[in-house]
Amino acid sequence: MCGLTGFINLKNDGANCEDYLRAMNLALTHRGPDDEGYWVHPQGALGLAHRRLSILDLSRQGHQPMSSASERYVMAFNGEVYNFLELRRQLNSTQWRGHSDTEVMLAAIEEWGIEAAVKKFVGMFAFALWDKKKRLLHLVRDRLGIKPLYCGWQGDSFLFGSELKALKAHPEFKGRIDRNSLALFMRHNYIPAPYSIYEGINKLLPGHILSLSLENPKQTSTPVSYWSVKDNVEQGMREPFTGSENEAVKQFETLLEDAIKLRMVSDVPLGAFLSGGVDSSTVVALMQANSSQPTKTFTIGFLEDGFNEAEHAKRVANHLGTDHTELYVSASQARDVIPRLPALYDEPFADASQIPTFLVSQLARQKVTVSLSGDGGDELLGGYIRYGRTNTIWNSLRKCPSMLRKILSRGMVSVPPSSWDALFHRIGFLLPPNLKVSNKGHKLHIFASLLNPKNDEDLYRELVSCWNDPTGAVLGSREPVTPFSSGHHWATTPTFIERMMFLDLITYLPDDNLAKVDRASMGVSLEARVPFLDHRVVEFALRLPLKMKIKNGEGKWLLKQILYKYVPGQMIERPKMGFAIPLGSWLSGPLRDWAENLLDEKRLQQEGFLDARLIREKWSEHLSGRRDWQLFLWNALMFQAWLEANKS
């Protein structure tokens, strides 16, 4: 796990090339504190830089940027290719200098060509490859988007890097905020690829290769896909798994166990995040089954009722016999992370679980350099509660005329949530247990929003939207086209649940969950590995019929059959909690002054990005208790905090 950066320089300003590279690379020190390296084109037309977090081959033979044996290629690489030993055996005629995966990758590219070689790589990666013979720069990102890669033109320089902070260190970086991307952020709480918060800078899409010729680098170059979720979803529908349930469980366990064993190869201490949920518990159970020593596991706990999973994780850890470390964090300790968020994430990012994710990464880094996580299981195996619930509701609503749905929706939202809460309180004794939930009025308003959609596209947009009208919140913006914008981006699937899972895989997973884990872990120089996103596991999961994923409204049926071989069901069977914090009460209490400063009406008007009247209205309603606007406000606050940290 490392960081990379570099640029193409049309001015051929060789005198300053290495100075620019050093400034860019310095910004990535947290991603690779163990080593740094530089390669500069003889005429200063191109430069590559690398920061190294030593995981495999700790010797100088793993130093980057690294040249191939023939000297044709130079590579700066972030990530891990776990099957490098197998590839090395296939390339046994090569004279090896060291024991790193980077050297094997270069040899594979020389032997098979870049696209054929990349298709053989099992792992997570983003890399820049300079081909001296063809004078081509290739930028490559892994299939699922586990590792980040930003790139784009700023003046006469094409900049690229693992994080935006590296690009910002180049003197030609403009830093103009893209209001259209900001509108996307206000909708999704993150900025979907290929966009970034800055004009002219994009995220390279997962599973793509971008190639630029040094002869004419500004000539439009379209990234080429070498692997896509859409193709694999549709192939899985054409060629579904036809074996029995027992055969599916056995085959999935074999694939996942192999993926985990590959990710346990490390020359430095290794462990795992453990929440006590299905995904992380399965990863840890299989790690422990394949280890002669207790697996090191890590959990963060909160003292607030309803926000603590540490007790569940501890029971699982004790049952499996792991070397478990838990840390109970006070509310003030968690809030102390907030000032660090703009620097960690580089662009506005408003998934509030970013705070506990950073804290558990910080805890793990005290004992290990590598940690496995359970990310990806929900998207692959139907784990999110909204999959089953939304599908059931939508199938019923389709039968209701759209005009009647619209009238019902307007009637529900015309009554304030506080009034609904009061009503439900009075008649609570009449309600069945499944309706005795908190914030009933707020949840009823959310349900009302699901009554209006005309089709699947509209419904999914409602489900994933924070601000339903983001262009109304962001002054002078137009919302760009994304995979949410039109059904022609969507894979052809027989059910709405499978369409939701597909869209989550190509958007929410890489741009929210994986970005969150990458920045939080790399912010403390910790490598996070994601076995569920081994592409062979993903491809098999996409062939499985939905009935093996969701049964009786419960997701991850198949995965639970594996887990229950190691952990009793009663330890796991509980409502899904997520990695949450008591954000609403914090905003009304200890964070109130911080939020009031960032949401000051005059300040909003002077900055000119967000509609001051709209933001202040929601802030006032939240403070009064009339509405719970915590997610909307956190979204606006994360932009405001980011803007304040990046004013220079």
Beta pairing class for 123-131 and 73-81:
antiparallel
Query: Is residue 577 included in any domain, yes or no?
Result: no
| 28/146 same-domain check | yes
User: Is there a single domain that holds both residue 520 and residue 590?
Assistant: no
> Is the CB of residue 612 less than 8 Å from the CB of residue 601?
yes
pLDDT score for 39: 95
Q: Give 361-396 pLDDT, tens digit per residue.
A: 999 999 999 999 999 999 999 999 888 877 777 676
* pLDDT-derived band at 14, boundaries 50, 70, 90: low
Examine the domain organization and report whether 435 and 370 are in the same domain: no
Same domain, 314 and 410: no
Q: Are residues 277 and 354 in the same domain?
A: yes
Q: What is the pLDDT of residues 258-301, one digit of tens each?
A: 999 999 988 788 999 999 999 999 999 999 999 999 999 999 98
What pLDDT shows up at residue 416? 67
Name the phi and psi angles at 625, rounded to 5: 85, 0
- 215 and 302 in a single domain? The answer is no
Share of the chain above pLDDT 90, in %: 68
Q: What DSSP string describes 8-69?
A: EETT--HHHHHHHHHHHHHTTGGG-BSEEEEEE-TTSSEEEEEEE---S--SGGG-SSEE-T
Lowest-confidence segment of 177-181, 418-422, 458-462 by average pLDDT: 418-422
pLDDT band at 303 (very low <50, low <70, confident <90, very high): confident
Say how far apart CA 270 and CA 526 lie, in whole Å: 10
Tokens of residue 429, six digits? 């004794």
Cα Rg of the chain (Å, integer): 25
pLDDT exceeds cutoff 70 at 447: no
Q: Considering only 73-87, 242-256, 621-635, which range has the smallest mean pLDDT?
A: 621-635
Q: Which residue range is the domain that position 407 belongs to? A: 385-496
d(CA 522, CA 361): 9
Look at residue 19 and tell me if it is in a domain: yes
Tokens of 545: 């019929």
- Shortest CA distance to 550 belongs to which of 384, 363, 333? 384
CATH code, domain carrying 364? 3.40.50.620
Please report the DSSP string for 207-247 in residue order. TEEEEEESSSTTS----EES--HHHHHHHHHHS---S-HHH
Domain count, the chain: 4
Most confident of 166-170, 306-310, 433-437, 494-498: 166-170
State the catalytic residues.
2
Task: Let me know whether 248 and 346 are in one domain.
Answer: yes
Dist. CA 97–CA 277, nearest whole Å: 43
The pLDDT assigned to 104 comes to 96
Whether residue 345 is contained in a domain is answered as yes
Mean pLDDT value of segment 86-114: 91
pLDDT band at 454 (very low <50, low <70, confident <90, very high): confident
81 and 217 within one domain: yes
Please tell me whether residues 54 and 136 are part of one structural domain: yes
Average pLDDT over residues 567-585: 76
* Structural domain contains residue 576: no
Range in 216-220, 593-597, 604-608 with the lowest mean pLDDT? 216-220
Is the confidence at residue 507, as pLDDT, over 90? Answer: yes
Query: Looking at 226, 261, 293, which one is the last position of a domain?
Result: 226
Q: How far apart are CA 186 and CA 196, in angstroms?
A: 13
Q: How far is CA 110 from the centre of its chain?
A: 32
Q: What is the mean pLDDT of the chain?
A: 89
Give the model confidence (pLDDT) of 613-626 as tens digits.
999 999 999 998 88
Residues 202 and 85 in one domain: yes
pTM: 0.92
Question: Where is the domain boundary, 226, 251, 281?
Answer: 226
Please check whether residue 358 lies inside any domain of the structure: yes
What amino acid occupies position 398? R
3-state SS, 97-166, equals: CCCCHHHHHHHHHHHHCHHHHHHHCCEEEEEEEEECCCCEEEEEECCCCCCCCEEEEECCEEEEECCHHH
> Is 635 within 8 Å of 186 (Cβ atoms)?
yes
| pLDDT tens readout for residues 33-54 | 888 999 999 888 899 999 988 7
Mean pLDDT of 495-508: 94
Angle at which helix 402-414 crosses helix 440-449, to 10 degrees, equals 150
| 372 shares its domain with 486 | no
Same domain as 170, residue 78 = yes
The mean pLDDT of 413-424, rounded to a whole number, is 68
What percentage of residues in the chain have a pLDDT greater than 70? 88
Domain boundary among 541, 571, 601: 571
- Rounded CA-CA distance 140/203 in Å is 11
CATH number of the domain encompassing residue 170? 3.60.20.10
Determine, yes or no, domain membership for 578: no
